[in-house]
Amino acid sequence: MSSSANHYRSPLRDIEFNLFEALRVQDSAFGQGPFEGMTEEIARDALVALDRVSAQKFGASLVPGDREPPTYDPETQQVTLPQALKDAIDAYHEGGWEALALPEALGGFGATPSLHWGAFEMPTAANPAVPFYAFGAFIASVVYRLGTPEQRSRFLPRMLDEHWGGAMVLTEPNAGSDVGAARAKARPIGGDIWAIEGIKRYITNGEYDHAKNIMHLVLARPEGAKPGTKGLSMFFVPKLWIDEDGRTHDNFVRCIGLEKKMGLKGSVTCEMSYGEGGVTRGFLAGEVHDGIRQMFHVIEHARMGVGCKSMAQLSQGYQHALAYAKERVQGADLMRATDKTAPRVEIIRHPDVRRMLMAQKAHSEGMRALCLFTASIQDQVALLGGHADPKAKALDRLNDLLLPLVKGYNSEKAYELLSLSLQCYGGAGYMQDYPIEQYIRDQRIDAVYEGTTHIQSLDLLFRKVARDGGETLRGLLGRVEQSLKDAEGGEALADVRARLARGLADVQGIFMALMGKMGESLYHVGLQGNRVLAALAEIVIGWLLVRHAAIAQAKLDDGAKGSEADFYRGKVASARWFCRNVLPGLTLTRKLVEDSALDLMELPDGAF
Tell me the residue type at 386. G
Rounded to a whole number of angstroms, the CA Rg of the chain reads 25
Q: Which helix (H) or strand (E) holds 580?
A: helix 562-581
For residue 207, the tally of other CB atoms under 10 A from its CB is: 25
Distance of CA 356 to the CA centre of its chain: 23
Using CB atoms within 10 A of its CB, is residue 246 exposed (0-12), middle (13-18) or buried (19+)? exposed
Looking at residue 480, the DSSP 8-state letter turns out to be H
Distance CA 7, CA 313 (A): 11
Distance CA 40, CA 30 (A): 7
Q: Which helix (H) or strand (E) holds 402?
A: helix 393-404
Give the β-pairing of 214-222 and 165-169.
Answer: parallel
Write down the catalytic residue from 207, 365, 437, 450: 450
- For residues 470-481, one letter each, b for 16 or more C-beta atoms within 10 angstroms of the residue's C-beta and e for the rest, the string is eebbeebbeebe
Contact 110, 102 (CB under 8 A): no
Distance CA 428, CA 401 (A): 40
Q: Give, in degrees to the nearest 5, the angle at Cα 160 between 158 and 162.
A: 60
Distance CA 523, CA 596 (A): 10
- Going by C-alpha positions, the residue among 282, 38, 297, 32 that lies closest to residue 145 is 297
- Going by C-alpha positions, the residue among 257, 216, 209, 204 that lies closest to residue 89 is 209
- Indicate if 16 belongs to the active site: no
Distance CA 82, CA 279 (A): 31
- Going by C-alpha positions, the residue among 523, 408, 518 that lies closest to residue 470 is 518
Distance CA 300, CA 4 (A): 32
187 CB-side CA count, 13 A: 10
> How would DSSP label each residue in 524-554?
HHHHHHHHHHHHHHHHHHHHHHHHHHHHHHH
**CA distances for 507 relative to 197, 517, 572, angstroms:** 48, 15, 23
- Going by C-alpha positions, the residue among 147, 77, 137, 73 that lies closest to residue 107 is 137
Q: Which helix (H) or strand (E) holds 231?
A: none
Looking at residue 384, the DSSP 8-state letter turns out to be T
Q: Is the dihedral of CA 347, 318, 93, 136 positive or negative?
A: negative
Catalytic residues: 450
